[in-house]
Amino acid sequence: MRKYHDSLTGQLQKVQGLYQAKNRSTFSQEIAEGPQAVREALTWAGERVRDVYLTEEIFERHPEFAELTDGYWTHVVPERILVQVSSDCQGILAVLNTEAHPDIDELFEDTNLAILGVEMQDPGNAGTVIRTADAAGAGAVFFGTGSVDLNSPKVIRSAAGSTYHVPAATNLDPRTVIARAKAHDFQVIAADGAGDLVLGDSQLDLAQPTLWVLGNEARGLTPDLLDRCDLTVSIPIAGNAESLNVATAAAVLLYASVLARRF
């Protein structure tokens, strides 16, 4: 079902409006941008896809979209028009219905590895954490109150399609997530520069079900949240860097769990 447009129609203006959080909330819709994110959305969350907007050139560069978009409202738009909607979409974007938040307890029942970001406010970091959690086989990603909107196009683009693979929930009380993790027999480990243990310490048993907890990019974790965790762990830094980017720290910690379970 293809439609061709040669101007910035009212429908395209509505899509343009979805780049504002208030409109995404009002309409319960989100945008996936770029070939990778749209490909994964169509493959893994096809029932949520409403419309696809792309340029004619996308069919030439990525011929699989001719089949992937079959059965969806597909709007073919000149590049000069589509860039007015988004300069970052690389010639293709999709509008999806927003998924309801998953149940916390069900997520802990279905996995043995999860991560909680507290007040994670950078969309690039949040998307990268989701992508890394997906790659590491984690079954859930949680973000506390004060964190970035997970339906932001920047988060979805940074996650490179992993948004549609691993359940993620935001605007959660971190204390509740920690309490639910413990109720499901997870050990809760906070990443902290002054941790009681260093990653790699023989006292750490990362083969156990684990919830990793990471703090705000600048402020870290509050004493209250640190006290609620079972352990605090620091990542050793051999060079002169003051600290690691939070998304990089998430990758190190998640893969420490992966390796502990393989060997």
Is the model's pLDDT at 263 over the cut of 70?
no
What pLDDT score was predicted for residue 219?
Answer: 83
Q: Output the pTM of the full model.
A: 0.94
CATH number for the region 2-97 comes to 3.30.1330.30
What pLDDT score was predicted for residue 15?
Answer: 96
Percent of the chain with pLDDT over 70: 100
pLDDT in tens, 145-156: 999 999 999 999
What pLDDT score was predicted for residue 170?
Answer: 93
Percent of the chain with pLDDT over 90: 90
Is the model's pLDDT at 199 over the cut of 70?
yes
3 state SS of 62: coil
What pLDDT score was predicted for residue 184?
Answer: 98
Confidence of residue 127 (pLDDT cuts 50, 70, 90): very high
- What is the CATH architecture of 104-262? 3-Layer(aba) Sandwich (3.40)
Angle formed by the axes of helices 123-136 and 246-262, nearest 10°: 10
**Cα–Cα distance for residue pair 77/55, rounded to 1 Å:** 5
Q: Look up residue 256 and give its two tokens.
A: 């420490």
What pLDDT score was predicted for residue 134?
Answer: 98
What pLDDT score was predicted for residue 187?
Answer: 98
**47: DSSP letter:** G
DSSP helix, strand, coil percent of the chain (3-state; round to 5): 40, 20, 35
Please compute the mean of the pLDDT values over residues 247-253 and round it to a whole number.
96
pLDDT in tens, 58-115: 999 999 999 999 999 999 999 999 999 999 999 999 999 999 989 999 999 999 999 9
Enumerate the CATH 3.30.1330.30 domain ranges in the chain, comma separated: 2-97
Is the model's pLDDT at 174 over the cut of 70?
yes
Enumerate the CATH 3.40.1280.10 domain ranges in the chain, comma separated: 104-262
Element (H, E) at 217: none
Please compute the mean of the pLDDT values over residues 162-188 and round it to a whole number.
97
Burial degree of 223 (CB within 10 A; 0-12, 13-18, 19+): exposed
Please compute the mean of the pLDDT values over residues 39-48 and round it to a whole number.
97
Q: Look up residue 212 and give its two tokens.
A: 């990793």
CB atoms near residue 158 (< 10 Å): 22
